[in-house]
Amino acid sequence: MKSVYSIVLSDDVVGQIDRLAYTNGTSRSNMINQILAEYVSYRTPEKRLSDIFSQAVELIDAMDSFRLMSLPSDTMLSVKSAISYKYNPTVRYSVELYKNGDRLGRLRVSLRTQNATLAQLMDGFFSLWHTCEERASGRGEGAEWGGGKYSRPLTAPDGADESMVAKAIVDHINAFDGALKGYFADINRGEEPSKGVAEAYLEYDKKNKLAL
C-alpha cells in the first residue's frame, strides 16, 4: 500500500535524486522510497523484483540462445530467441512480476507473424507443453494460448529467495525454448514432434523442483 505525503526538500537534493532515478530507470517517487527504505533497513517489493531481474539478466547473458531486450518497466523482463523454421521467426518471452498478491507474475510468449500456418504450429506446441505440465506436475493452471501467443501465470516458489526465483524463471524459459526448437526441428525432418516435447518437459521437471 502506498499513500501520498507532502515533504519539503531542497532543490539541490531533488536534483541529485532525479539524476539517480534517471540512471536507475525509475521515477523520483520510487527513488526516494528506495533510499528511505534502505536507510531504515526495509526491503521493498520493488527492491525484491529488481534483485530477481538483475540476477536473471546475469544468467541470460551467459547463454547464447537468448537476446536480452531493453527493460520496458521495473516489473518486466523480455528476451528474444530465433526459431529454425521458414523465415527464421523470432519468439519473444516476457516475464512480468507482481509487487503484491499470491501470484509471482505471468509469462507471455509471442510470435509476430501473419503466417496462419506458423501460428497454428505454435499453438500446437503450446497445447503439447500444457498437456505435459498437467500430466507431470499439475502445473500450468490458467494457461491460455491462441493465434501464436501464449500466457501463463507463475506461482511463487515456497521459501525461495531472489536468486532461486531468478534461476527458476530462467530455467523455465530455457526449457520452454529448447522444447520449442526441438518441436520445429522434428517438423522440419517430417517427424512427429509430440514425443520430443514430452521428453524435453520430463527432463526439465526432473531437474527443476521449484514450481512456477
Write out the three cell numbers for 90.
523470432
The pLDDT tens digits of the residues spanning 113-123 come to 788 899 999 99
Neighbouring C-alpha atoms within 13 Å toward the C-beta of 2:
11
What confidence tier does 183 reach under pLDDT thresholds 50, 70, 90?
very high
Give the global pTM. 0.81
Task: Give the SS3 label for residue 69.
Answer: coil
Nearest to 16 by CA among 3, 38, 35: 35
Placement of cell 520445429 in the chain? 184
Nearest to 25 by CA among 63, 77, 61: 77
The pLDDT tens digits of the residues spanning 192-203 come to 999 999 999 999
The pLDDT tens digits of the residues spanning 152-165 come to 999 877 778 899 99
Give pLDDT, residue 97: 92
Which residue(s) pair with 92 in the sheet? 80, 110
